[in-house]
Amino acid sequence: MGGQQKWKHFDKKDPTARGGAGKMPVVGMRGRDGKVRYEHVDFANMKALHDFVHRHAEEGSTLYTDENSGYNGLSEIYDHKTINHSSKRYANGDVHVNGIESMWALLRRGYRGTFHHWSKKYMDFYLAEFAFRQNSKDMEPPEKVNKLLDSSQGVRVKVSCNGKE
């Protein structure tokens, strides 16, 4: 997550930056039931991808991914199927990643359109908000509010009024 160099203010641009420079890597998955999980990671490498999958998917589950080499080796524990985007294939029967791709689109749209900037410090909160929105979209408003309040028990919220707590 993060803005492109060409759209940054002239004193914030890094002319030597390429690819993901200055961006905050996020990994995510979407179950076939529509439930989403996002997580901010320090590096989008094989270890981070494998750790994320091991935390959130049961052994033997079927995983559908793109052909990113970071997923290599997951087929030893999971039923791992890939779709080859580089050859312009986006689905092969049940094998597709269209669900999570649409979740990335919504996340990026929220970043660009509503929030404009997320600090690394609060990235996990933004990701949790977007996951909550998706995971509770079929709930009635009272049920959604109750779920939100239940999940926030024990969380201390600081309220500031004119700079005083």
- Tell me, what's the pLDDT at 46? 93
- Tell me, what's the pLDDT at 34? 86
What mean pLDDT comes out for the span 30-40? Answer: 89
Between 78 and 44, residue with greater pLDDT: 78
Question: What does the pLDDT look like over 45-90, one tens digit per residue?
Answer: 899 999 999 999 989 899 998 888 899 999 899 999 988 888 887 8
- Tell me, what's the pLDDT at 110? 85
Least confident span in 40-44, 63-67, 91-95, 126-130: 91-95
**Which class does domain 5-139 fall in?**
alpha beta
The CA distance from 43 to 107, in Å, is 19
β-bridge mates for residue 62, sequence order: 79
pTM for the predicted model, two decimal places: 0.75
Strands (E), 7-165: 26-30, 36-40, 62-66, 79-83, 91-92, 95-96
> DSSP characters for 19-31?
TTTT---EEEEE-
The CA distance from 64 to 31, in Å, is 10
**Helix (H) or strand (E) run with residue 92 in it:** strand 91-92
